[in-house]
A and B are shown apart, each in its own frame.
Chain A
Amino acid sequence: QQQVKQSPQSLIVQKGGISIINCAYENTAFDYFPWYQQFPGKGPALLIAIRPDVSEKKEGRFTISFNKSAKQFSLHIMDSQPGDSATYFCAANLGGTYKYIFGTGTRLKVLA
């Protein structure tokens, strides 16, 4: 019940295309859902985050869509660029702690 399932494991997108990464969770007590981006040799960095009382959050080319009833959330990267090539992790948090449950990651490659 503590798992966050992430798919796909890897993704190849043409430059200018839309990249979509999906995550699903079971524990309805999760109340904060961030996405982290990790480049090779670097630690993950926060990209965008959402709370379950909002169905969508957009920051530039990055959008989180949240479906509370289905217990799913997804990251959409519009106009994908080669510089977006990285590993993306979704995560979920139980309120009041810094204990995050991470998905297993999606390796995105954007072709020039």
Chain B
Amino acid sequence: KAGVTQTPRYLIKTRGQQVTLSCSPISGHRSVSWYQQTPGQGLQFLFEYFSETQRNKGNFPGRFSGRQFSNSRSEMNVSTLELGDSALYLCASSPRTPPGELFFGEGSRLTVL
């Protein structure tokens, strides 16, 4: 069974630009969560989607948004990029009702110059 796939794996943007990251969950998993990982801050919850509906949202500004499609694939978007948005963005999928295991992808590493 294929794991969680995130694209692109690496990207470089400049301040003010926007970026879209993509996540394909494990087949059959309907919940997709996004986390931001930075050194010293650990993993911080961005949002979670289930059946195309956002169920939970973390404490991030409105520049961070996401969506989920009918096939459970998810995208997150960051607009008006700031230097502090440089991070590893991790997507995780889960197979059943919470709580339960998060299956993480390898992440998309975003560098903002």
Interface size, B (range):
20 to 34
B1-43 vs A: 1/0 string, CB under 8 Å?
A: 0001000000000000000000000000001010100001111
Which residue of B4, B55, B56, B99 contacts A43 across the interface (Cβ within 8 Å)?
B4
**B: which residues have CB within 8 A of A?**
4, 31, 33, 35, 40-45, 48, 55-56, 58, 90, 92, 94, 97-102, 104-107
Q: Is the CB of A93 within 8 A of B98?
A: yes
Q: In residues 75-104 of chain A, which contact B (Cβ within 8 Å)?
A: 89, 91, 93, 95-104
Docked pose: A34 CA to B94 CA in angstroms: 14
Q: For the side of the interface on A, what is the size category?
A: 20 to 34
Distance in Å: Cβ of A93 to nearest Cβ of chain B? 5
* Residues of chain B within 8 A of A45, CB atoms compared: 104
Which residues does chain A contribute within 8 Å of B55, judged by CB atoms? 97-98
